[in-house]
Structure 1
């Protein structure tokens, strides 16, 4: 397992599940998912960009690019946030391999909506939800000077990611066999 320092400064090896998403990607099956929020007021793209610039630093495993090494796929944290884009009336538009190598997620906005589209190899829906909630907290803090508590999946944008957020613990969790857990309880 790589240390947090090694992972945030360099490449993070994708797990087997993530590689399946890359292997099955084609023009008809893109392996992106979208999370959206509707707002009562119009979106300010400049403030949304500022919020994204801060939020990506908190999520190096989501704000990432995907590239192929000699034998494995890797993800690396993006050096800077991608540009927020106006929605183009295309739900989950295709993301080419070249685009994945630049940044494997995008933030879109409509007049009163914000969307995050994430390549599924980076995270699942829960990770995407945490990212979107944290992005929204930063957006409303900047736009309305709102004081938003760090609860219900809103993370501190200035905090360094915890080790567990940057490591693939699937094998450790999968190896926790139910019979072993039952013995420990006795």
Structure 2
């Protein structure tokens, strides 16, 4: 699906960033990358076209780090020549890992990224790798890294079709040349969690409620009556089904506020979102979605369709699916490092390419990092989202990859 849905304005690429407390040594980073890849050979692959499917093929390519000189989350798959499906860059004190979603999802890529950061730091601190390995959870084997977890955990039970109506869609003037605006907000993690609990919800539920409230103001009362406001939230299935696979193993749930119904105050909305999250992540509900996804892949009629026709059909299916959500919220969770490495890291960030609006969040230490990416120039949704936190007494550090007059106000 990701390969078929890739185009100039939706590269299907996401990025992890790690800000250290010192300038990056390029030679040391290159050495660390080559060493790390020896433990993650599942990442040393290229994507090729078959008669019926794209497929991943082992390669002997050696990745080369480079200083960052391009916009975030640009295209990584280049069909005209074989290339690895990830990229490592650096700028000043920050290391970036960008990954094409065909290769892995956020949880799988994070395992690789953590190993890379620890390898880099251990080289600089002259700590033997044998002493670092206990800090990591490495896959048991190459075959385990490449395993199709959907196939392994699908039950094959009768599928109940999940119907979802079209959602409210964001509109506006887009940046030229398919550029993305990425606004990064750093909040104090402990205070953010306390604020979420004071609104009777988890951190994810409260962040989602704030996003819904910020987006709600974009729509006129007339448009609110025509379609629901829907936030799509990816769920890492590894939390529910054990696997060592680095390949994609997630599903998305939809938090949908009914059309024509007024949005309640923030606390009531947070409580409602929290209840919806609990309902949608019940094992039975997750199994339904997983079985539906696997049934499409196993369908013999689809398997035998030539790739060039299949790409058209999958692209249409992807676009129709995207119409069923207004925005996306992805919570990577808490990243933990142990000493002596933890104190060398200032913050972790994550962002993703999108054709609409996506809010991604990750916590490291006492920094909750939230990045909102969007192709739209108007920053009002982001501004309203931040104000919901600052009005509650939290301080926010904000950075942006591109500025215009409205951002400076």
TM bin, normalised by shorter chain, reads 0.7 to 0.9
Alpha-carbon separation, structure 2, partners of 1:96 and 1:112: 27
The C-alpha deviation readout for 1:128-154, integer Å capped at 9, x for no partner, is 100001111211121221355334545
* Equivalent residue number for residue 66 of structure 1: 47
The range that moved more, 31-40 or 86-95, is: 86-95
* Equivalent residue number for residue 172 of structure 1: 152
Q: Unaligned 5+ residue runs, structure 2?
A: 158-282, 285-409
* Equivalent residue number for residue 95 of structure 2: 114
What is the CA-CA distance between 1:37 and the residue it aligns to? 0.4
Q: For the structure 1 residues 113 and 154, does the alpha-carbon distance in structure 2 shift closer, same or farther, using more than 3 Å as the test?
A: farther
Q: Is the 8 A contact 2:46 2:82 kept in 1?
A: yes
Alpha-carbon separation, structure 2, partners of 1:30 and 1:95: 8
Alpha-carbon separation, structure 2, partners of 1:75 and 1:88: 28
Alpha-carbon separation, structure 2, partners of 1:125 and 1:83: 22
Alpha-carbon separation, structure 1, partners of 2:59 and 2:119: 19
* Equivalent residue number for residue 47 of structure 1: 28
Please give the secondary structure, in 2, of the residue aligned with 1:150: helix
What is the CA-CA distance between 1:162 and the residue it aligns to? 4.6
The range that moved more, 80-89 or 32-41, is: 80-89
Alpha-carbon separation, structure 2, partners of 1:41 and 1:99: 38
Structure 1 residue corresponding to 2:84, chosen from 103, 115, 127: 103
The C-alpha deviation readout for 1:99-155, integer Å capped at 9, x for no partner, is 773111100101100000000011110111000011112111212213553345453
Structure number with higher relative contact order (C-alpha < 8 Å, ≥ 6 residues apart): 1
Alpha-carbon separation, structure 2, partners of 1:38 and 1:96: 26
Alpha-carbon separation, structure 2, partners of 1:165 and 1:152: 19
1:28 aligns with 2:14: no
Q: Is the 8 A contact 1:133 1:154 kept in 2?
A: no
* Equivalent residue number for residue 314 of structure 2: none
In our comparison, the structure showing a higher alpha carbon Rg is 2
Alpha-carbon separation, structure 1, partners of 2:20 and 2:80: 28
Q: For the structure 1 residues 175 and 151, does the alpha-carbon distance in structure 2 shift closer, same or farther, using more than 3 Å as the test?
A: farther
Q: What is the correspondence of 1:85-96 to structure 2 with a 5 Å cutoff?
A: 85-96=66-77
The C-alpha deviation readout for 1:164-185, integer Å capped at 9, x for no partner, is 2221121221218678xxxxxx
Q: Unaligned 5+ residue runs, structure 1?
A: 1-19, 180-186
The range that moved more, 80-89 or 38-47, is: 80-89
1:75 aligns with 2:53: no
Q: Is the 8 A contact 1:33 1:120 kept in 2?
A: yes
What is the CA-CA distance between 1:92 and the residue it aligns to? 1.0
Q: Is the 8 A contact 2:13 2:101 kept in 1?
A: yes
TM-score (structure 1 length as normaliser)? 0.74
Q: For the structure 1 residues 68 and 89, does the alpha-carbon distance in structure 2 shift closer, same or farther, using more than 3 Å as the test?
A: closer
TM-score (structure 2 length as normaliser)? 0.36
1:38 aligns with 2:47: no
Q: Which stretches of structure 1, 4 residues or more, deviate above 6 A after TM superposition?
A: 176-179
The C-alpha deviation readout for 1:37-81, integer Å capped at 9, x for no partner, is 000011011111111111122222223211112322111233132
Alpha-carbon separation, structure 2, partners of 1:118 and 1:164: 20
Alpha-carbon separation, structure 2, partners of 1:95 and 1:28: 13
Please give the secondary structure, in 2, of the residue aligned with 1:106: strand
